[in-house]
Amino acid sequence: MRIGIIGAGNIGANAARLFTRAGHQVALSNSRGASSLRDLVAELGPQAQALTIEETARFGEVVLIAIPFGQYRQLPAAAFDGKIVIDAGNYYPNRDGNFPEIDHGQTTSSELMAEHLRGARIVKAFNTIYYLHLANQGDPIKPLAERRAIFIAGDDAEAKETVARLIEEIGFAAVDTGLLREGGKRQQPDTAIYNQVLTAKEAAAILES
């Protein structure tokens, strides 16, 4: 599969390592330009390349966005039409500035992303796991119930299935928190599942309680 990754920081870079090891083609981009990604692309090997943000969006069948939420309006929306987009970001007012509609509970960061990228299918995922855990805690040998959980949320069932398969391929288990609004809220910072080391079985029990 062709996977675009926009934002090559801790989450984006480690996701790129895992996806290339699983046999996928990866294109990476960031706000600093392709030359800043030279070393990472060399590390990843021939299955990886550095492109512009727009080129990365057009390249990927799935596009993972791992940028500060406050920058989401800078994304070239038309380039994401028809794509499955993994929203790996979180809203931090101290970093992103205040969004009153989020602060007052009227919407969520992922819903705002979906509104901006109207032609894409948004799946919230990879936002509740510490980057070192993403790098080191995947284990494809374990049964799914015993693997570290990565939570997903979204309104498109087929898109969620695709993202869940990718999560399983890199050694984790996808645990569905629901639709984009309520499911996304369950994944936000300071919730019971945010940045918690949970197996899929443990995560399911928390969500059901």
The per-residue pLDDT string of the chain (209 residues; one tens digit each, 9 = 90 and over) reads 999 999 999 999 999 999 999 999 999 999 998 899 999 999 999 999 999 999 999 999 999 999 999 999 999 999 999 999 999 999 999 999 999 999 999 999 999 999 999 999 999 999 999 999 999 999 999 999 999 999 999 999 999 999 999 999 999 999 999 999 999 999 999 999 999 999 999 999 999 98
Number of domains in the chain: 1
The pLDDT, as a whole number, for residue 209 is: 81
Q: Is 142 exposed, middle or buried (0-12, 13-18, 19+ CB in 10 A)?
A: middle
The pLDDT, as a whole number, for residue 25 is: 98
Structural domain boundaries, residue 37: 2-208
Task: Supply the CATH number for residue 38's domain.
Answer: 3.40.50.720
Cβ–Cβ under 8 Å, residues 6 and 29: yes
Distance CA(189)–CA(93), nearest Å, equals 11
Instruction: Supply φ then ψ for residue 68, to 5 degrees.
Output: -55, 135
Cβ–Cβ under 8 Å, residues 7 and 69: no
C-alpha distances (whole Å) from 32 to each of 93, 121, 131, 158 are: 23, 26, 21, 33
* Residue 132 CA from chain centroid, whole number: 15
Distance CA(57)–CA(73), nearest Å, equals 14
The pLDDT, as a whole number, for residue 160 is: 98
Give me 80's structure tokens: 């994401």
In which residue are the tokens 């919230």 written?
A: 124
